Amino acid sequence: MHFESAELPEPAPFDEHEFRAWRGFMRVHRTVTDELARRLEREHDLPLVQYGVLITLVSAPGRQLRMSDLAERVLISPSGMTRAVARLRDLGLIERERDPDDQRSFVVSMTPEGLRRLREAQVTHHGCVREVLFGGLEDGDLECLAAIYDRALPGVLDAPVWPVPLEQRSQPARRGAS
């Protein structure tokens, strides 16, 4: 079946600036994360999601979090988190124990070996991001980029926990609003 584009117009299409900004964001995100995932896997046998678990735990108080909080912060489904935690536990990089305050839940904590492996992988992570994302930018560009992210989603840079629950987010000013 063939449709003419006039039969089904695009609802509220992006203007040229919106389209280019969105396309650029998506392509940059995909390129950087794909390359980062490839390098972490190749050089450290550490899939990106498992790196995400470790990097999240290292900044948590006591380097431990409840599984549900960890899954939310890493932005992964509960089943994906269960698989990632199982593999990291098998490698001796984390421990998983029942939460003493809630026996239905589990607490995940980083082991010293997990910290060592994370620090090794961070060399690759930082190098990849500097090369692929920051390589063509100047210092002023980095400051501008960070400011744009913070204007787009206030708190994205400095909130101690991300994502901030929707009800706690301040609403960014709408583009073009007076």
How far apart, in Å, are the Cα atoms of 98 and each of 54, 67, 95, 108, 137? 19, 10, 10, 9, 46
Which residue ranges form the domains of the chain, and what is each CATH number?
30-156 (1.10.10.10)
Q: pLDDT tens digits for the chain (178 residues)?
A: 665 656 889 999 999 999 999 999 999 999 999 999 999 999 999 999 999 999 999 999 999 999 988 988 888 888 888 999 999 999 999 999 998 888 888 999 999 999 999 999 999 999 999 999 999 999 899 999 999 999 998 888 888 777 766 666 565 555 655 4
